[in-house]
Amino acid sequence: MDLKRIDRAVGAYLQDAEPSDAARLRFFRGLFELQQERCDELSGDGGAAATAVEGLDEAYLSARPLLQLCPVAIEAGDFAATCRRIAAYMAAEAGLAEDVAQALGAIDWDEFSRRADLVLAGTDPSGFVEAVRADEGMAEPFGAAAGAAVLVLAFAVRTHVQAAAESLMDAVSADAKEGNHARPLHCPVCGAPASLSHVGVQDTLQGGARSQFCSACGTTWNFERIRCGSCGSQDQGDLHYHHVEGDPAHRLQTCDACGSYQRVVFQDDLRVPACLDVEDVVMAKLDRVALDPRFHRG
């Protein structure tokens, strides 16, 4: 995470943010800093090994998540320490109800991490979080804080995999990433669906370059300008853009082929410096728009 970039974007949004949005932005600003600090500590221990691995390009081009080739080894004690710090921050700063904050503070993360499938966490971060959520036995000790604890896990796994994700992407060749190949539909590093999409400045005849962003591991990758981020349909007739009046920078791309939507930020219309971690926070609003029945035409 680039904290300077995050600060510029958060600072710009704070200038005219409503109080509840401002509180969210400040919360995430603090969380990102904590995650990056912890990530630097872990990398200092040799956590993010250099990646001289064969077959990265082939994996990239055949939709095999790079973490399957090169999993991150996550040590239970380290993971517990990360969770503890994030949970303490959330209990203090996330505006949780008192009983939830208390339950979150009482979770024994050492015990949890000893039982958790950290091999899965280092291979498939969002699959790990989903597996814990779905497993009553694993989620039982979270008590009243189950929802918040699952978020702690997602933030913690990201902290442990983001440095490796970055070096894996650096190790993929420019030809695989930018050459004349179909782009990976899901995150090439961890396999999760993109959380949002970015269309760059439209300075060419084809329009701005598009990239996808994965908040599970922090990876950004090149993507086709006209394509559904969920099912991969490239039929222009299936794809539509919508935005809330007065905010053309933040749009929803809907797809008739699969019925899903994706959040897309347009750099040309954005009044602040783009930072996709921050956009992910800002665009959470659009999920509510997407659920609004008035949004669905017919």
Residues that bind Zn ion in the complex, under the rule CB under 5 A? 187, 189-190, 192, 214, 216-217, 219, 228, 230-231, 233, 255, 257-258
Question: By C-beta, is 120 or 214 nearer to Zn ion?
Answer: 214
Strand partners, 220: 213
Question: By C-beta, is 187 or 249 nearer to Zn ion?
Answer: 187
DSSP 181-203: SPPPSS-TTT-PPPSEEEE----
Question: By C-beta, is 199 or 228 nearer to Zn ion?
Answer: 228
Q: Could you tell me the smallest distance in angstroms from the CB atom of residue 77 to Zn ion?
A: 25
| Cα(268)–Cα(206) distance, integer angstroms | 14
Question: By C-beta, is 139 or 192 nearer to Zn ion?
Answer: 192
Q: Could you tell me the smallest distance in angstroms from the CB atom of residue 193 to Zn ion?
A: 9
Nearest to 192 by CA among 227, 225, 161, 167: 161
Residue 49 is classified by DSSP as -
Q: Could you tell me the smallest distance in angstroms from the CB atom of residue 41 to Zn ion?
A: 22
Question: By C-beta, is 104 or 217 nearer to Zn ion?
Answer: 217
Helix axes 19-44, 76-93, angle to 10 degrees: 160
| Cα(82)–Cα(291) distance, integer angstroms | 34
| Cα(75)–Cα(271) distance, integer angstroms | 42
Q: Could you tell me the smallest distance in angstroms from the CB atom of residue 190 to Zn ion?
A: 3
End-to-end CA distance of the chain: 41
| Tokens, residue 296 | 């669905």
Question: By C-beta, is 84 or 251 nearer to Zn ion?
Answer: 251
Alpha-carbon torsion angle 40, 41, 45, 46, nearest 10: -20
Q: Could you tell me the smallest distance in angstroms from the CB atom of residue 227 to Zn ion?
A: 9
| Cα(79)–Cα(163) distance, integer angstroms | 15
Helix (H) or strand (E) run with residue 86 in it: helix 76-93
Q: Could you tell me the smallest distance in angstroms from the CB atom of residue 189 to Zn ion?
A: 5
Question: By C-beta, is 141 or 193 nearer to Zn ion?
Answer: 193
Q: Could you tell me the smallest distance in angstroms from the CB atom of residue 217 to Zn ion?
A: 3
| Cα(240)–Cα(139) distance, integer angstroms | 39
